[in-house]
Amino acid sequence: MAMSKGNGLPVPDDIIYKILLSSPLYSSLKATLLTCKQFYRVFQSHPNSVVRAVAYNITGPALPQALECIRHPFVPVHPRSLLRVSLSDPGDLETLISAPITPPETHQIVANSKIVKRLEDMFSFRYIDRTISTSQLSSSESRAFCIAVYRLMLYGAIADLGAWIHQESDPELRGDLITLSDNREDTEKGNKMFYCFSTPELLRLHSVTVFLKEILCFCARIYGYADEIYDLATVAGPARILNGFGNQDRDGLQLLDDISYFFRLEDPETLASLSSSPLLRILDLRNVEPPSGFAHWLSVSSRASERNSQCDRCQETLDFGAHSRSTFTEISNGECYRLHITYQHKYGPQHIHQYLKGNLRFSSFEISAFIDENKEFGATFLLQMWNDLWRLDLVQQQPKDQRFPHTLPDWTEDSYLCDVCFTHFLSENLWLWWRHIKSSSKTLKQDCCYGFNCELQVKSALHAEDFNHLCEQTQVDNL
């Protein structure tokens, strides 16, 4: 490439061009361009190649699919959309993909790539390596996974669940702009898209769909929806499912409500066209049996390990909530996207007192002392508690709680625990840690003979304050 010399900088234009091409993000490209006008001049000579190179740096080799999922002619055009590419032949996807990237498209590329990356990280954590929160897929596995997610994103955009529901539920729009059958036609277009994929690609798409279903089930775990609604994970699309996971009380609930809308319609034809059955139908036509159970994840990575997704203690599934020192370290560093909601609601210093032993958790005096004393730990709370319990050898010093099955192995410092086992661990051990904190600050009073079982500590703040209840019961009859 011919580059002009004498730009006033000690580096030639072609080096500046290479620097611009290697910008990892659009924000860093912008910052580089603002440093001096020579950089901006070089950018203006080759804006399209620089913008495309940065898009590649963001999405990796799945860039064609990333562009396809925002430019595909089947994706509905919304009135506010500025990013349509005008094509003389909408069937020519290569032309469509190679067209220059517009500024509004850069925003969508960045937003979509965050969704894809988070899903890849979550998949890797769950099935490949739970000790690390960022993806450990190989570059070829990562590429294949990202392509599958972008394709499901495209499918979700074509089906356009949100617009469909909006139009169906608004009497002014119903039967006017788009009818149910028109929408079904759009979805059928999306279904036909699957026919051109190779069988390994379809199997991977199906496995990623099953992974999206798992996330949807996780969002719905406390609401008790019928199992069939999870078949609509494909049409809900990766973006809505991940948003639902990120804000389960608001976006998650809204998504589940939208999906269950189709079941209230009781229109089997619509349900069949929306569910994940098109993928299965095509595989069936090709005489291919899709994997079941854990074998799904082997079509994404040969290193997928069932052990990685199981609780070390009870062998039940970890879901997305493995509790371990590495997870607590992530939370401490503010990096744990997977669990931030669970931790805010259940295990932060403001809420975790519900796992104090016996009647301690009902004692207003103990609860407010616990919150006041521990709020300064903030996000580091769990890591601090976990480290103290093991460093001071507190876990093994007490009789086990008879309520929990003792056929399970003992607690160990490096365990990865499911949510059920972790709450058992807290019920057995949190009070010991709290006693250690109070004893360190010399605020422990004389022991009450009814210990943590004392009922009077709940009724009388004065009694709760005058005696220590962080101890075993030594007198049999209770108050």
- Residues with Cβ within 8 Å of residue 315, at least 6 apart in sequence: none
First-to-final CA distance of the chain: 89
Q: Which is nearer to Zn ion, 258 or 312 (CB)?
A: 312
DSSP for 100-140?
A: PPPHHHHHHHHHHHHHHHHHHHHHHHHHT-TT-SS----HH
- Which listed range, 106-114, 171-179, 224-232, 455-463, lies at the site for Zn ion (CB under 5 A)? 455-463
For the bound state, the minimum distance from the C-beta of residue 341 to Zn ion, rounded and expressed in Å, comes to 20
Q: Which is nearer to Zn ion, 160 or 428 (CB)?
A: 428
Give the alpha-carbon dihedral of 328, 334, 335, 338, to 10 degrees. Answer: 70
For the bound state, the minimum distance from the C-beta of residue 344 to Zn ion, rounded and expressed in Å, comes to 22
Spatial separation of the C-alpha atoms in residues 441 and 308, rounded to whole Å: 40
Residue 318 and residue 418 in contact, taking contact as beta carbons nearer than 8 Å: yes
Give the alpha-carbon dihedral of 20, 21, 23, 24, to 10 degrees. Answer: 170
H or E element that contains 423: helix 419-440
For the bound state, the minimum distance from the C-beta of residue 312 to Zn ion, rounded and expressed in Å, comes to 8
Give the alpha-carbon dihedral of 94, 99, 103, 104, to 10 degrees. Answer: -50
Choice from 448, 458, 470, 471 touching Zn ion (CB under 5 A): 448
Residue 454 interacts with Zn ion (CB under 5 A)?
A: yes
Q: Which is nearer to Zn ion, 313 or 353 (CB)?
A: 313
Residue 455 and residue 359 in contact, taking contact as beta carbons nearer than 8 Å: yes
For the bound state, the minimum distance from the C-beta of residue 417 to Zn ion, rounded and expressed in Å, comes to 6
For the bound state, the minimum distance from the C-beta of residue 450 to Zn ion, rounded and expressed in Å, comes to 5
Angle separating helix axes 381-391 and 419-440, nearest 10 degrees: 80
- Which listed range, 158-166, 257-265, 391-399, 411-419, lies at the site for Zn ion (CB under 5 A)? 411-419
Q: Which is nearer to Zn ion, 288 or 314 (CB)?
A: 314
Q: Which is nearer to Zn ion, 271 or 456 (CB)?
A: 456
For the bound state, the minimum distance from the C-beta of residue 446 to Zn ion, rounded and expressed in Å, comes to 10
Q: Which two three-digit tokens encode residue 370? A: 């616990």
Residue 180 interacts with Zn ion (CB under 5 A)?
A: no
Q: Which is nearer to Zn ion, 217 or 288 (CB)?
A: 217
Residue 418 interacts with Zn ion (CB under 5 A)?
A: yes
- Which listed range, 163-171, 357-365, 430-438, 445-453, lies at the site for Zn ion (CB under 5 A)? 445-453
Number of residues lying near Zn ion (CB under 5 A) = 12
Q: How many C-beta atoms lie closer than 10 Å to residue 27's C-beta?
A: 11
Q: Which is nearer to Zn ion, 214 or 419 (CB)?
A: 419
- Residues with Cβ within 8 Å of residue 213, at least 6 apart in sequence: 230, 231, 233, 276
Residue 395 interacts with Zn ion (CB under 5 A)?
A: no
Q: Which is nearer to Zn ion, 72 or 313 (CB)?
A: 313
For the bound state, the minimum distance from the C-beta of residue 479 to Zn ion, rounded and expressed in Å, comes to 7
Q: What angle do CA 259, 253, 70 make, to 5 degrees?
A: 60
User: What is Dmax (Cα atoms) for the chain?
Assistant: 94
Q: Which is nearer to Zn ion, 244 or 358 (CB)?
A: 358
Residue 421 interacts with Zn ion (CB under 5 A)?
A: yes
Q: Which is nearer to Zn ion, 216 or 421 (CB)?
A: 421
Please, what's the b/e burial string for 224-258 (b: 16 or more CB within 10 A of its CB; e: otherwise)? Answer: ebeeebbbbbbbbbbbbbbbbbbebeebbeebbeb
Q: Binding string, 82-121, against Zn ion, x = CB under 5 A?
A: ----------------------------------------
Q: Binding string, 281-320, against Zn ion, x = CB under 5 A?
A: ------------------------------x-xx-x----
- Which listed range, 35-43, 384-392, 416-424, 427-435, lies at the site for Zn ion (CB under 5 A)? 416-424
DSSP for 351-395?
A: TGGGGSSGGGGG-HHHHHHHHHHHGGGGGGHHHHHHHHHHHTT-G
- Which positions lie near Zn ion, rule CB under 5 A? 311, 313-314, 316, 418, 421, 448, 450, 454, 456-457, 467
